[in-house]
Structure 1
């Protein structure tokens, strides 16, 4: 299997790829945790063409898509925006946001490709803390913890969803 993780920009193809991935991953990630109407509202508000174009064109974000044999398998957003935990106030930080791989692509090599690229991008920033915010049942928490991220006690919130969260910092 050929696995490649690439930056995505605001081209028609990039936008269409992200529209499909963001919506499908939000459904896979939250459908059992959030009321269907609330999840539909979240997806409608956050993952439409204009919102993605604005996010792709923001200097605060870098979007990565991992491909398996040229099929989009997952994505992550590296950002300096978001509701930071108190621990990071006044400090330079970057966040790995929306990290996810579609259930149809369970290969650890796909996950590792996206994760390694995220770390590479984050570490290119000098003197920053890397942080992640996930819901408590996320399968990604174990991945981050096994790669040096530690949980902090600060109360964190998931962006726009009424779920508890776990904040991890490296």
Structure 2
């Protein structure tokens, strides 16, 4: 299987590709967890052209897409923005703000390719953190890759879902 993970920039093609991929992954992730109108509102707010262009052009964010051959199958966003876990507020850490792979391509090698690129981006920092809804099946994957679930729980930033913080320190 030929797997590559590449940076994506805010060209028309990059934005369109990311929007399509993100909407499909969000639908797969949240359809059984929230009401259809909540999901529609979330997708419209987070992945509309104006917001996506602003997010892709932000110097705080880096967007990645993972491919099998030439087919885009997942993406991640690395950022310096977002509410950190309380015990990490003073640390120089980056956030994996979004990480998703289409269900039919959700394979260990694909997840690892995307995560390895995230880790490479964060290597000059003290670590990486993730704020993810509790029931996300990827939580177990992140834990298997050295991320540690924090004691702190809270509400997902944009959806009515209970969420957790996971942290991977540089020296762990």
Scaled by the length of structure 1, the TM-score of the pair is: 0.94
The aligned counterpart of 1:19 is: 19
> Distance in 2 between the 1:31 and 1:129 partners?
31
> Distance in 2 between the 1:57 and 1:165 partners?
27
Q: How does 1:111-122 map to 2 (within 5 A)?
A: 111-122=111-122
CA contact (8 A) 2:56 2:63 kept: yes
CA contact (8 A) 1:82 1:159 kept: no
Once the two structures are TM-superposed, the CA of residue 155 in structure 1 deviates from its matched residue by 2.7
> Distance in 2 between the 1:94 and 1:25 partners?
22
The aligned counterpart of 1:67 is: 67
What are the superposed Cα offsets for residues 37-65 of structure 1, whole Å, 9 maximum, x if unpaired?
01110100110111111001101100000
* Secondary structure, aligned partner of 2:139: helix
CA-based RMSD: 1.2
Q: Which ranges of structure 1 fall in alignment gaps of 5 or more residues?
A: none
Specify which of 157, 160, 168 is matched with residue 159 of structure 1: 157
Q: Which ranges of structure 2 fall in alignment gaps of 5 or more residues?
A: none
CA contact (8 A) 2:5 2:114 kept: yes
Q: Report the count of equivalent residues.
A: 168
The aligned counterpart of 2:138 is: 140
Q: How does 1:67-86 map to 2 (within 5 A)?
A: 67-86=67-86
The aligned counterpart of 1:129 is: 127
